[in-house]
Amino acid sequence: MISKMAVVIISLLSFSAFATDSTTLDFRIKQLQELVDVGPNGGNAEIIDYNVKKFTYKKHVKELLKTIKGNDCKYVPFIGIRELFNVYSSLSIFSNSKQAHDLLEKISIVRGLKGALGYYWSADGGDAENCSTEQVELYFSNGKALIIYFDATT
């Protein structure tokens, strides 16, 4: 009979293989791109390249805050992988996909996810007609980023 600890170790070892194979990580990122909901009005999910060694939150946060500042809509920013998982259920981008959540968790466990940030509409300021947008930026350890913009404005 296999103990729970052995099952955990076997699972982590299989995730380790998952993380070190960049082809597999590329495939998982593509899967995530296909699973996200970009909304009915022209949102998108794009995979881009970035420099892993030069990644810092400072530049990305500055751009993010500039995007959401100074309008009638009240957006809630989130910064960091832990915060992504804390606000996950508030994000429409992933609302219809437990599979996307599970995939993100697996990637995160093996340190395949280097950074995450974004914003979502809080519904406290502005109206749904003009403010139903979200943005999530996921930065992966292989130099790929998935930038997702959700748009449900009318």
Query: Tell me, what's the pLDDT at 149?
Result: 92
3-state secondary structure string across 68-92: HCCCCCCEEEEECHHHHHHHHHHCH
Contacts by 127-133, CB closer than 8 A, 24 or more apart: 128/152, 128/153, 129/153, 129/154, 130/72, 130/73, 131/72, 131/73, 131/74, 131/75, 132/39, 132/92, 133/39, 133/43, 133/73
| The predicted structure's pLDDT at residue 15 | 46
For the chain (154 residues), the mean pLDDT of every run of 10, in chain order, is: 49 46 84 87 92 90 87 89 85 76 87 92 85 92 94 84
Question: For residue 2, what pLDDT is reported?
Answer: 53
Q: What does the pLDDT read at residue 86? A: 84
User: Among residues 126, 124, 113, 56, which one has the least CA distance to residue 90?
Assistant: 124
State the greatest distance between any 2 C-alpha atoms of the chain, in Å, as a whole number.
60
For the chain, the domains span: 4-151
Model pLDDT, residue 49: 96
